[in-house]
A = this chain, B = another copy of it.
Amino acid sequence: MAAFSFDKLVIVGVGLIGGSLARALRERGNTGGDTGGAREVVGVGRTAAATARACELGVIDGAAALDDDRALAAALAGADIVLLAAPVAQTRPLLERIAPFLDAATVITDAGSTKADVVAAARSALGARIGQFVPGHPIAGREASGVEAALPDLYVDRNVVLCPLPENAPAAVARIEDMWRAAGATVHEMAPPQHDRVLASVSHLPHVLAFAYVEQILQSRDAALRFAFASGGFRDFTRIAASSPEMWRDICIANRDALLEEIDSYTAVLAALRTAIETGDAAALEAVFTRSRAARADWQLRAAQPAAANGEPSK
């Protein structure tokens, strides 16, 4: 007999992120282990067709369409947790749509890559019920997307950041923590601005830099020649420029303030390196390159370990 952490999880948006959580919690619950899981996972999609594939694959136990009042009410009734796993720009309309059907005991969380804007959207949509919303961000992904790409171990040893609000009851935060731990993740807490600054730095900025780099080659008059002689370093450096344009457009706008700060500080560092190159300041160049290489090597060594071992805030 399996020890379930909770009875009913509703996932709004059953793609890679939502589907992987569904698989993790259902398959763990069914193994009878003591790590917990969900007794029932219900998927919610824009239409019935949107969740059909997830049902076929057995990723979810049941489904409801957002545009069907009765089905949506039935799906949300008695839910322990609702996870929003849709683009961050949809946070407010989605919460407005489900709010009338929410039980008072249900805890809502999300999987968005930005947090300050998500919190603002949630406050606006939920009003006095904002205490039911615990903002979150699982830092995991794959190049592939969609429910077909969902993996039960996507979150194993990965970091999940929660950004609890002053209005959250400790028990509500604990329920979301338990859910992610049951999926194998390490859970950390940060304030929303800290989360957004850290993610702007280690994720959003490099995406912008990689997109800008490929764009700069495209704007050159001998772009085809350049691409023809691009090699292994180019391949790794530009891999993230193959990411979803719509998703990154939304992230850039959602996390604008933090991202602009990172772009400005990066531009200043690049300008300093430019000056060192122009003046032939070999010592300055070597100093920067040596520091960078050492930091990258150190990161590589630590990357195999969970972040909790690295002295950052965790819970």
Residues of A within 8 A of B (CB): 139-141, 158-159, 161, 194, 197-199, 201-203, 205-220, 222-246, 248-250, 252-253, 256, 259-260, 262-267, 269-271, 273-274, 276-278, 280, 282, 285-286, 288-293, 295-300, 302-303, 307, 310-313
Contacts and interface: CB of A to CB of B under 8 A. Distances in A.
Nearest to A233: B240
Contacts of A232: 141
A139 B225 CA distance: 14
A28 B292 CA distance: 40
A292 B241 contact: yes
Copies per assembly: 2
A215 to B, nearest CB: 5
Contacts of A285: 245, 248-249, 252-253
B202 A293 contact: no
Contacts of A286: 245-246, 249
A252 B237 contact: no
Contact of A219 (B161, B265, B273, B296): B265
A127 B244 CA distance: 55
A158 B260 CA distance: 40
A280 B253 contact: yes
A306 B165 CA distance: 55
Given A215-B269, A246-B286, A296-B214, A203 B231 contact: yes
A148 B296 CA distance: 24
Given A202-B227, A210-B292, A259-B277, 11 more contacts: A139-B231, A159-B228, A206-B237, A225-B312, A227-B310, A249-B286, A252-B277, A253-B282, A253-B285, A263-B277, A267-B271
A295 B139 contact: no
Contacts of A271: 267
Q: Which of A229, A243, A250, A264 has the most CB of B within 10 A?
A: A229
A196 to B, nearest CB: 12
B240 A237 contact: yes
Most buried by B among A225, A296, A310: A296
A294 to B, nearest CB: 9
Given A236-B239, A236-B240, A240-B233, A291 B260 contact: no
Contacts of A226: 198, 201-202
A234 B236 CA distance: 10
Given A214-B296, A242-B293, A267-B267, A206 B233 contact: yes
